[in-house]
Structure 1
């Protein structure tokens, strides 16, 4: 049977060889697909494949990779990266410059450990800390920027640089008064103007300390928008550096899935839908599409609580509406694309 790649589940068997758009052979006929095969097909933008009919329930087959818990080492390295960005903030606040070796010693070990981790959703759900939003957000954006760069087929060296730019993108917030940065109520016009200056502060800090114009530009431009509605310079389209457009997608996603002082965090799948909406004007549409396409398969097998209180698991994505998947509850299946009044309230590993 012919299925969309986003409907594939672990255990599906290919009827015919799979090729990408330029004729490169990807997977041979007869292969029983695992999660890495499905990710490969997604990375190569394959839309449909032919598989043998499924004889069992459409629930995903067990997978060591999917079921593997996030290792304690990753938790430790995640916390170290948070400690590292906190130390950088404190150095600047104390009047000192930051140094490249400090940045890399804090962040690179985490990247090296997660570079082969394919289930980014489990990583995000598991790697949470009690530290304040700004610190955790910096680490998440660095991680997501690295992954997104790799999904865009950037070299390892370039992906590391983009990840580093994501890690440092909010460094200018160290110069924003805490009472504004952490204000739980709506900001005044003057306070919002001050918040916007973190992009300029970040640019100056990185350019002077690290002598890296590209990473500095990301700090300056990560709030610019394709339609010119962003800040601080109202740049638009390709006038925004490509790295800044990558980090912008990671920045928005991390911000929306995180708990803030003025609102609760939002479900990871819901936020992907919001990113999709923002790709029609604000965010780079190609970069956003790559991000969504590579994130969606990670949700298969995840447990959910629905808005009506029922609990189940995501067993299949819907190619006509990626953000409203098929849910298995006990022995029943719910197609959320047909249930407009039911939403996913919570997702967990």
Structure 2
């Protein structure tokens, strides 16, 4: 049964292997299509597709129905990721407690808390789905530490750093906020704006973290990442007001991960913002505050992860991201029912929220 790509439905099954115009294999015969596979074929600019007769799909087995159900995105993930993520969150809390009590942390505690997670998300590619799956509203400080560790690892890998340096970047991200253990809970979790005095104390956490890590680990770069992750390229950061190349590369990576994680997370004083929308804000920050090469590398590798994701638009419509616009990265093509909405042309519509 030959159909045009615009007529494909979730649940259609390919009756032959699919190759693009360059002869590269895209999908195998027998693949049951969902939005992600259909989006992939749009990316490869397919026209007509051979599928099995749809009557046979209606008679598909229960297992196949489960495969194409709403929870299919979760089934492809390593089942260890979720418990390991929350184990790492609990480990971060224990590290903060020990750092407060003893003024230091221990390498074996870091490895026990974070390394198992590194080993298991090393093979994952869809970082957006990981964030959607793992992000929750509890334990902001500790979840933020784990997220920044995870994102720093991916950013370093996308930058082409050697594996050893990539793992160090992940560790630096995981430990970047350890100095917050010395900040009073009343300040950390204050639901309203901080006073000048309270904000001054909050700005001390990079120095506190630097001292803790300098006394704990034989790795100056990780300590410097904690000290400098709030420095900005234009010199308007803290605590030292460094600029450009004065900031350690590890700190620049952690800074991008830190800002992104903070923006997409629920805080006591602010609701979380959408993952796709925040990428556009991050892009704006790359023209002055954040390192442009690192930020653009992060955005360039994150955007393809949104293809195939369900979205709610500001107009109230729901659809699926089909492909990114080549010149307007943050306004992709959306399939809503049988219609296609090019957000680069419909400027009055925005992506309000992205879902699995």
| Structures share fold, TM-score greater than 0.5 | yes
| Shift in CA distance, 325/204, structure 1 to aligned 2, threshold 3 Å | same
Q: Residue 141 of structure 1: CA displacement? A: 0.2
- Paired residue for 2:48, among 31, 51, 55? 55
- Paired residue for 1:15, among 3, 13, 21? 21
The alignment yields a C-alpha RMSD, in angstroms, of 2.1
* CA distance in 1: counterparts of 2:44 and 2:190, whole angstroms: 53
Unaligned runs of at least 5 residues, structure 2: 1-16, 29-42, 50-67
Q: Residue 162 of structure 1: CA displacement? A: 0.5
Aligned residue for 1:209?
216
Aligned residue for 1:218?
225
* CA distance in 1: counterparts of 2:19 and 2:122, whole angstroms: 27
Q: Residue 156 of structure 1: CA displacement? A: 1.3
- Paired residue for 2:277, among 237, 255, 270? 270
TM-score by length of 2: 0.82
Aligned residue for 2:141?
134
1:12–1:51 CA contact under 8 A, matched in 2: no
SS at match of 1:72: coil
TM-score by length of 1: 0.83
- Paired residue for 2:156, among 149, 156, 160? 149
Q: Residue 96 of structure 1: CA displacement? A: 5.3
Aligned residue for 2:65?
none
State yes or no: 1:179 paired with 2:186.
Answer: yes
State yes or no: 1:326 paired with 2:325.
Answer: no
| Shift in CA distance, 274/195, structure 1 to aligned 2, threshold 3 Å | same
Q: Residue 325 of structure 1: CA displacement? A: 0.8
Aligned residue for 2:350?
343
* CA distance in 1: counterparts of 2:74 and 2:343, whole angstroms: 25
Which string of whole-angstrom CA distances, capped at 9 and with x for unpartnered residues, describes residues 292-346 of structure 1? 0100000000011111211111111111111111111110111111122211111
Aligned residue for 1:163?
170
Aligned residue for 2:256?
249
* CA distance in 2: counterparts of 1:295 and 1:14, whole angstroms: 23
- Paired residue for 2:126, among 119, 126, 131? 119
2:234–2:289 CA contact under 8 A, matched in 1: yes
Count matched residues.
306
Q: Residue 112 of structure 1: CA displacement? A: 0.3
* CA distance in 2: counterparts of 1:324 and 1:145, whole angstroms: 26
SS at match of 1:142: helix
| Shift in CA distance, 323/189, structure 1 to aligned 2, threshold 3 Å | same
